[in-house]
Structure 1
């Protein structure tokens, strides 16, 4: 199991720990930042939702029968994030594809490094893996003024979850004023954790007047909801509702939206615990320079590839896999969640402090 390319199989959902070959390992990987999949109160709400709505809703959102829970969830999400309107779909991937294909042909698409395939119109849109984000921003500001297209669709992530880097969007104000610009931001790894009360990046960028802001996100990471959302202006959301991608797809599972609407305090408490865990862990690191990280975010990225094997030998599993291709160097990260205890983090920090590289 010391090779980052080797797949580890388990028949149990990992929480703060994971049992492999009869041995319990501390689990510091994955994207369930708030630990919602293991949260007892959320599970109780979800069971209530299943009893009320059944296990699935096998119909189109555009059918002649409408479940109110979809509108309730979308109204809540719009108010929560500060967006004019919101749309839910069955996954973040489908939300991205719906948005990208609905805007297809309207202008020139420009993709930032690291953009997820959910927002590609085809594999040809894949950003070059060697491109640096800062270099891309410099190129963007130099080239967009002379591009012949009047409408530019700029697609980027809100942050880099692999290198644990939060992006600064001050460059948006320097974009050419004589262009129509749609800025699409994928907030899948921020939503539920970053922003005011975990509302993500929309509220931080909503003041930008020179661009049409659209935020898409998976709800399946921090919030533990198998669904995707699109946040934007009402005109755009209405257009997406009329698309074949939206009308032809099954919607998000109503029981999960039922649980989501009742779990505001569940999310808030998990977020408070997560922030406590991040601070607790950071304060106990003798060599914080081993990691790239930013405030109140649970990902600690490192170039120390040997840390994976070292921690595994001491019963701790962290994230390490080759990306974006099997020939690339492994991306190695310690990822915390709200499920970790103080004892877990003491043990983790002590082992890292004792790591010789």
Structure 2
């Protein structure tokens, strides 16, 4: 059974529980933006320019340039033709599936994020590689010509990378839309943190939509869709988009001003990953992959052992309270070398 810890402040590299400071190796703020003072400075500048919120629609007669500026940068950064921002990653996912719902037959990969579900029936806990291996045969049995494949770009819970070479072998006789949720890779993986879009773009036999939360690595409460202009324009014309609130402009301002900060923190993150991996490479309790800050373990008792020794990690049932525990150590750019050494020493003692 997982133990819930209640706190009254935002964690950084540490947090205080019942008067005692603990090291914190959890959460999805991989680049530490929520506690980055330089980023906060840009955010305060943005609030002075744009206020604390923008209470209007993106389709109103008043147009704030910061939306188009940030979307143009996101498209250029990732290599997409067009980008569209929304107020949350979850809303982004829901808009995509709702607007595609009557445009083809849906096929869900295992462990797809809830933001992309239409109902709970769209989730199942299976092997991604098995799904991929059986996909051509499965597709061949469907009478429908229009298919919509929904998948994550990786498994951030079990710390497993996904190979997308299979996309090149999808049948050209079908009209296929591939929707990829890159929320946990965007900002960390890919060239300069640009995520998976450019890796998938060469597959001309499919229509590609990559969507992502901006709230993980980038620290922005919002989401983004990357794809062809024709498709994105259709999303813009839908009441689902016109009726939703946009990203708070002050955050988009901070995002555009923080390009160098993101790259600096990304390098720090990789240094921390390399250091921690060097310590635990001889142990067999973790699943992980290169340059990614998540380390999954099936030994859930590690959470209690570390908490008793002043370290908090991620351990809770997911995606619902009725599901199995997911226990992970998550590194961020905020951690110091001493933090990493302390964590690694405790894990070595636990494993001995």
* TM-score (ref. length: structure 2): 0.98
Task: Report the Cα distance in structure 1 between the residues aligned to 2:162 and 2:109, rounded to whole angstroms.
Answer: 11
Instruction: Give the equivalent residue in structure 1 for 2:227.
Output: 232
Mark the CA change 1:286 to 1:119 in structure 2 (over 3 Å): closer, same or farther.
closer
SS at match of 2:280: coil
Task: Report the Cα distance in structure 2 between the residues aligned to 1:329 and 1:147, rounded to whole angstroms.
Answer: 33
Shift of residue 191, structure 1, vs aligned partner: 0.5
Shift of residue 326, structure 1, vs aligned partner: 3.5
Task: Report the Cα distance in structure 1 between the residues aligned to 2:269 and 2:48, rounded to whole angstroms.
Answer: 31
Instruction: Give the equivalent residue in structure 1 for 2:288.
Output: 293
64-73 or 329-338, larger mean C-alpha shift: 329-338
SS at match of 2:21: strand
Q: 1:164 aligns with which of 156, 159, 184?
A: 159
Shift of residue 136, structure 1, vs aligned partner: 1.3
Shift of residue 60, structure 1, vs aligned partner: 0.4
Instruction: Give the equivalent residue in structure 2 for 1:68.
Output: 65
- Structure 1: any 5+ residue segments left out of the alignment? none
- Give the root-mean-square deviation of aligned CA atoms: 1.1
Q: Are 2:88 and 1:91 aligned?
A: yes
Task: Report the Cα distance in structure 2 between the residues aligned to 1:104 and 1:296, rounded to whole angstroms.
Answer: 35
Q: Displaced runs of 4+ in structure 1, greater than 4 A?
A: none
Q: 1:132 aligns with which of 127, 138, 141?
A: 127
Shift of residue 289, structure 1, vs aligned partner: 2.3
SS at match of 1:135: helix
Shift of residue 116, structure 1, vs aligned partner: 1.4
CA contact (8 A) 2:72 2:82 kept: yes
Deviations 1:318-353 (CA, angstroms, capped at 9, x unpaired): 111123443443111100000000000000111111
Instruction: Give the equivalent residue in structure 2 for 1:344.
Output: 339
Matches within 5 A, 1:176-191: 176-191=171-186
Q: 1:16 aligns with which of 1, 9, 13?
A: 13
Task: Report the Cα distance in structure 1 between the residues aligned to 2:59 and 2:200, rounded to whole angstroms.
Answer: 31
SS at match of 1:338: coil
Task: Report the Cα distance in structure 2 between the residues aligned to 1:213 and 1:221, rounded to whole angstroms.
Answer: 22
Mark the CA change 1:278 to 1:234 in structure 2 (over 3 Å): closer, same or farther.
same
Q: 2:53 aligns with which of 38, 51, 56?
A: 56
Deviations 1:10-68 (CA, angstroms, capped at 9, x unpaired): 11100000100000000000000000000011000000000000001100000000000
Task: Report the Cα distance in structure 2 between the residues aligned to 1:302 and 1:99, rounded to whole angstroms.
Answer: 33
CA contact (8 A) 2:283 2:351 kept: no
Task: Report the Cα distance in structure 2 between the residues aligned to 1:90 and 1:286, rounded to whole angstroms.
Answer: 40
For this pair of structures, how many residues does the alignment match?
Answer: 352
Q: 1:149 aligns with which of 144, 149, 152?
A: 144
Q: 1:254 aligns with which of 249, 266, 270?
A: 249
Shift of residue 174, structure 1, vs aligned partner: 1.7
Task: Report the Cα distance in structure 2 between the residues aligned to 1:329 and 1:151, rounded to whole angstroms.
Answer: 35
302-311 or 60-69, larger mean C-alpha shift: 302-311
Matches within 5 A, 1:77-88: 77-88=74-85
Task: Report the Cα distance in structure 2 between the residues aligned to 1:285 and 1:249, rounded to whole angstroms.
Answer: 46
Q: Are 2:285 and 1:283 aligned?
A: no
Task: Report the Cα distance in structure 2 between the residues aligned to 1:44 and 1:272, rounded to whole angstroms.
Answer: 21
